[in-house]
Amino acid sequence: MQNQIKQRTKRFALEVIDIVDSLPNSASAKIISYQLAKSSTSVGANYRAVCRARSDKEFISKLQIVLEEADESGYWLELIQAKGWVDVSKQLQEANELTAIFVSSLKTVKNRLNSNNKKDNNRFE
Q: For the chain, what are the domain ranges? A: 2-123
Q: How far is CA 35 from CA 22, 75, 106, in A?
A: 15, 10, 25
95 confidence band (pLDDT: 50, 70, 90): very high
pLDDT for the residue 14? 98
pLDDT for the residue 113? 83
Q: How far is CA 18 from CA 21, 22, 88, 104, in A?
A: 5, 6, 11, 29
pLDDT digits (tens, 9 = 90+) for 23-49: 999 999 999 999 999 999 999 999 999
Asked if residue 39 lies in contact with residue 58, where contact means CB atoms within 8 angstroms, the answer is no
Q: What pTM does this model have?
A: 0.88
- The residue with greater pLDDT, 73 or 112, is 73
Q: What class does CATH assign to 2-123? A: mainly alpha
pLDDT for the residue 122? 57
Amino acid letter, residue 35: Q
pLDDT for the residue 99? 98
22 confidence band (pLDDT: 50, 70, 90): very high
